[in-house]
Structure 1
Amino acid sequence: MRVEFIGLMTILLGAILVFAPVRHSFTWMMLSTAFGAAAAIALPGMGGASILVPNLFLLFFVLRVFMAFGEGQIFAAVSPSRAGFILLVLTVFGLITALFFPRLFQGMTETMIVERSVGLRNIISLVPLRASSSNITQTVYAVGGLVAFASTFAFFRRAGAHEDLIKAVLVTATVTLSFALADIVTYFTRTEYLLGFVRTANYALLTAAEKGGLKRISGTFPEASAFAGYTLVLFAIIASLWLEGVRGRAIGPLTWLLFIALLFSTSATGLIGLAIIVPILFLRSLFWSPADRSRQPALFIAGSVAAAPLIVFLVLATLPGFSAGVAGFFDEMLFSKVDSQSGQERAEWNAVAYKTFLDTFGFGAGLGSARASSFVLVLLSNIGVLGALLFALFIWSVLSLKPAVGSSQPNECGAAIRAAKMGILAVLVTASTSGTVYDLGLMIYILAGATTALTAPDPRRARASASNTMSLHERRT
């Protein structure tokens, strides 16, 4: 076992936050998810696997929540009446498939899995189905997602408020954009080593790639696609808040900066995600209009969309050389993607995953046994039809949640809930187009836990809040 420098910093910070207010721990928990290429601890004994910063910090967050509220609220997150129960059943089912399915169907099919070569680097190989270290790591990640959901639920159920979610997202977005800028500056100044402390993962890091003469932004992630997928989630959340008039002065500029970062990431994942998320946000803004918010953001976007064709026409007419370069750029990034080596490899992954699904009679090869280039095929090839249905039911149960009838929560809380749902949707959009493994990261489970808790706050908190309000009113009168 080898502890990286950033791992030591994570342990030190986690130890300090154990004795700090629990709200600080949640902010740092969400922020830690931005370090997608930072391995805190390397485990050579497990085939070169590593523990990433967010997974390590999760232990301290769980400990802090347990110290603050005990185990009762954590277990309440997975009670049969809540979405967490479905996630618990899904996780247990995934564990069973990881233990038994690779042995049950061993040799009956072939799968794409990650193997370690000389030097403990990752390679993707087509091999006969068998138990591997990926079954262990993906199961651990699945359990981590369940724990993140339950801990976040407990925090928001007892102490957290929608302001904590908004604050954490704003901090995370600011840090993500800062590292994106640092990525560009260090690349062109040949000082990439300055970001080496956040790029310690043992898998291939494509952090110095260009596309069409532009630096592909990777920030704190191993490649531009991962950066774009994560940034899309932040954009969906913050743009949703902005369109509802929440903290417009701070959130408006941040929304546009995230949008620009997605464009300059030169990632097909980011562009496809924007093409799906932006229309959803725009249509929701047009057809959902509470009386107490300004419609200026929506009107501004409508004007921008209407003016876009004119801007494009002027650019094409006045800068033919630039337009030719842009056309070549998009052809390389999107239209010729399928014919590229990467596109052909990912198509092969999907074909193999689908064959694995058929060869295992729809049961799947076991959690962690197969890799694809679409999360739908990942689910089917790993945990089969039953697992895919459980996952879909969990997502639906979270996205369909609404604040209780007669709830006294402020309108801004409703906006935060809807923004969190947009973030979950953004995760699923990127995963559906480029997800390779079952692990979607901790962000989706943090957002799901927050949504579940904020739609059904603890009655004891509501009574205490009402009592405090009444006492304050009596003192004033």
Structure 2
Amino acid sequence: MQVSLPGLLVCVAILAIAYYARGMSMIALIASQAFGATAVVTLTFLGGSSPLIYTLFEALLIAVVAARRRIWLDLGSVFGSIRPIWILTSLMVYAIIGAWLFPRFFAGQTAVFVQSKIRGTVVEASLTPVSGNISQTGYFILGGLTTIVLCTLLLHAERIDQLRRGFFLWCGLHAGMGVVDFIGKNAGIGDILAPIRTANYAIISNAYEAGFARITGPFSEASSFAGASLACLAFSYTYWRRTKSRFSQWLSVILLFLTILSTSSTAYVGLALLCIPVVLSMSASVLRGRIEREEILIAVFMVMGVVGIMGISLYRADALDPFIRLIDSTIINKADSASGHERTYWNVKSLQSFVDTGGLGVGFGSSRASSWPIAVLSQLGFFGSLMMAMLLGVLVRGLRGVEEWVAPETAAVVMSIRNASFAGIIANSVSGGSADPGVLFFIAIAVVSATRVNALRTAAVFERHGRYRAIQSAPAFDIPGLSAR
């Protein structure tokens, strides 16, 4: 085991900021997502696996909650009132069993893609137990436990302020380090954030695409940074539309530019998909005849952008050639590139492994794909994919049917977190290689589920009080059980 000093210093800094923000363990966990290639240790006995620092904060949060005196009563309340927790627990058990059993039961019967210890690249090999069965399953179980302990906290105390501060801290750190990386690479300074990329990953931070420096921030590559940028953008944009916050408005602008400047196909495809609900919402407002000021502002910026691009092209015809080459290489001809062919091959073989195992899957962590849904299907099989789809359904439903019993600020934060999780899922669906949906997914499940239960409890209290007041104010002959004498 090798300890990383920069990783430890980053953890200390996050803890100090979280302590000052009055929400040490929860805020630290959320903020740690900004460091996508920072690890504290490298576990040599697990094939060189290097857990990112968010796993350390997950373990810290779980330990803090587990040490509470009322932990068993709190767990009983969680399992008794939040039904999705039973689905999550079943999926965790299935993942553990599958990670141990399926690579042994179907050994040699299908092809998978694993990390080569010698060349450090992904290679095709016959199915067999690998270190990823332990490490990847461990990360997934840690995420599931994080959902459970967050539910125990959110069910018994009002912590919406901690959630809001944590997510804005995460988005602020992500945007700030993205700007630093952009300035450093374009000013000739170099990769300023290299010292904090301590994870044992293939680091691709000095790459160029069509003459543009790829923005990676504190992540290992541009696509990972783009995925996190999409999630942060979804959070800040949703919060801005619901609360009219000026801070979140400008944060959304910065994150939008960073997403575009990342030069990643994940960013552009994900951004196009995220624009669909925005356009539908604006269209609905037009049809209702109730256009909001923020929607007018968005339309004005879009028109100004189009006019600006047309003006530049008229002034100098070849001025936009670098951008055209960028779009051509990242979107139009991406599928025809060597990387596109390779990733397509991963997905095709992963689907074939699902068929070869009779729909049971190759086991969590046994292989990698190039799309999260395909990775889930190939590793968790039909039953695991069904349970994952049910958890996704929790996020899709959100606060539908109970939002009237939720405070406006609480609803804004919850829906912002939910949309951030969706954006992360979209990014993983474009280029994710693991069946693990990520820590943001587990946080969102806890926040949405606990808020729904609290809203239903509030509704029940109001209903009981309403009936009581109606009985008290009713005439004697209208009270059930009493005679009209």
Give the TM-score range, shorter chain. Answer: 0.7 to 0.9
- Conserved in 2, the CA contact under 8 Å of 1:14 and 1:60? no
Q: 1:130, CA displacement in angstroms? A: 0.5
- Cα distance in 2 between the residues matched to 1:67 and 1:21: 22
Q: 1:286, CA displacement in angstroms? A: 5.2
Q: Secondary structure at the match of 1:456?
A: helix
- Cα distance in 2 between the residues matched to 1:429 and 1:405: 26
Cα distance change on mapping 1:341 and 1:168 into 2, 3 Å: same
1:178 partnered with 2:179: no
1:369-389 CA-to-partner distances (Å, cap 9, x unmatched) read 121111121111111111111
Cα distance change on mapping 1:294 and 1:163 into 2, 3 Å: farther
| 1:323 paired residue number | 320
Cα distance change on mapping 1:27 and 1:285 into 2, 3 Å: farther
- Cα distance in 1 between the residues matched to 2:439 and 2:190: 27
- Cα distance in 2 between the residues matched to 1:21 and 1:238: 19
Query: Among the aligned pairs, what percent are the same residue?
Result: 26
Alignment of 1:217-366 (within 5 A): 217-244=215-242, 246-284=243-281, 287=284, 295-306=292-303, 308-366=305-363
Question: In terms of mean alpha carbon deviation, does 414-423 or 131-140 score higher?
Answer: 414-423
| 2:194 paired residue number | 196
| 1:82 paired residue number | 83
- Cα distance in 2 between the residues matched to 1:194 and 1:420: 30
Moved over 6 A (4+): 13-22, 458-464
Cα distance change on mapping 1:138 and 1:278 into 2, 3 Å: same
Cα distance change on mapping 1:160 and 1:25 into 2, 3 Å: farther
Cα distance change on mapping 1:8 and 1:386 into 2, 3 Å: same
- Conserved in 2, the CA contact under 8 Å of 1:38 and 1:200? yes
Query: For 1:159, which of 157, 160, 163 is the aligned residue?
Result: 157
- Conserved in 2, the CA contact under 8 Å of 1:40 and 1:51? yes
- Conserved in 1, the CA contact under 8 Å of 2:180 and 2:192? no
Q: 1:458, CA displacement in angstroms? A: 8.4
- Cα distance in 1 between the residues matched to 2:71 and 2:275: 41
1:443 partnered with 2:444: no
| 2:125 paired residue number | 127
| 1:168 paired residue number | 166
Instruction: Mark the runs of 5 or more structure 1 residues left unpaired by the alignment.
Output: 465-477
Structure showing greater radius of gyration is: 2
Q: Secondary structure at the match of 1:126?
A: strand
- Conserved in 2, the CA contact under 8 Å of 1:403 and 1:454? no
Letter in 2 for 1:43: L
1:326-368 CA-to-partner distances (Å, cap 9, x unmatched) read 2112111111111211111101111111111111111111111
| 2:475 paired residue number | none
Cα distance change on mapping 1:406 and 1:242 into 2, 3 Å: closer
- Conserved in 2, the CA contact under 8 Å of 1:17 and 1:25? no
| 2:465 paired residue number | none
| 2:92 paired residue number | 91
- Cα distance in 2 between the residues matched to 1:460 and 1:329: 52
Cα distance change on mapping 1:288 and 1:22 into 2, 3 Å: farther
Alignment of 1:139-158 (within 5 A): 139-158=137-156
Q: Secondary structure at the match of 2:42?
A: strand
1:237-296 CA-to-partner distances (Å, cap 9, x unmatched) read 11011112x15221110010000000001111011111011221342355479x9x9921
- Conserved in 2, the CA contact under 8 Å of 1:113 and 1:126? yes
- Cα distance in 2 between the residues matched to 1:192 and 1:308: 30
Cα distance change on mapping 1:454 and 1:22 into 2, 3 Å: farther
| 1:368 paired residue number | 365
| 1:470 paired residue number | none
Q: Secondary structure at the match of 2:319?
A: helix
| 1:410 paired residue number | 407
- Cα distance in 2 between the residues matched to 1:283 and 1:66: 44
| 2:44 paired residue number | 44
Cα distance change on mapping 1:220 and 1:10 into 2, 3 Å: closer
- Conserved in 2, the CA contact under 8 Å of 1:403 and 1:414? no
Q: Secondary structure at the match of 2:50?
A: strand
TM-score relative to the length of structure 2: 0.87
Cα distance change on mapping 1:392 and 1:408 into 2, 3 Å: closer
Alignment length (residue pairs): 459
1:122-150 CA-to-partner distances (Å, cap 9, x unmatched) read 32110011010011111101101102212
- Cα distance in 2 between the residues matched to 1:66 and 1:286: 48
Q: Secondary structure at the match of 1:423?
A: helix
- Conserved in 1, the CA contact under 8 Å of 2:369 and 2:375? yes
1:285-310 CA-to-partner distances (Å, cap 9, x unmatched) read 55479x9x992112211333455544
Cα distance change on mapping 1:20 and 1:317 into 2, 3 Å: closer
1:112 partnered with 2:113: yes
- Conserved in 2, the CA contact under 8 Å of 1:111 and 1:370? yes
- Conserved in 2, the CA contact under 8 Å of 1:241 and 1:415? yes
Q: Secondary structure at the match of 2:58?
A: helix
- Conserved in 2, the CA contact under 8 Å of 1:83 and 1:398? no
- Conserved in 1, the CA contact under 8 Å of 2:403 and 2:455? no
Q: Secondary structure at the match of 1:106?
A: coil
TM-score relative to the length of structure 1: 0.88
Q: 1:312, CA displacement in angstroms? A: 3.4
Cα distance change on mapping 1:161 and 1:284 into 2, 3 Å: farther
Q: 1:184, CA displacement in angstroms? A: 2.5
- Conserved in 1, the CA contact under 8 Å of 2:50 and 2:199? yes
- Cα distance in 1 between the residues matched to 2:76 and 2:4: 33
Cα distance change on mapping 1:15 and 1:74 into 2, 3 Å: farther
1:64-108 CA-to-partner distances (Å, cap 9, x unmatched) read 334456344355444474222211111111111101001111111
- Cα distance in 1 between the residues matched to 2:80 and 2:312: 57
- Cα distance in 2 between the residues matched to 1:288 and 1:243: 13
- Conserved in 2, the CA contact under 8 Å of 1:357 and 1:381? yes
- Cα distance in 2 between the residues matched to 1:458 and 1:300: 33
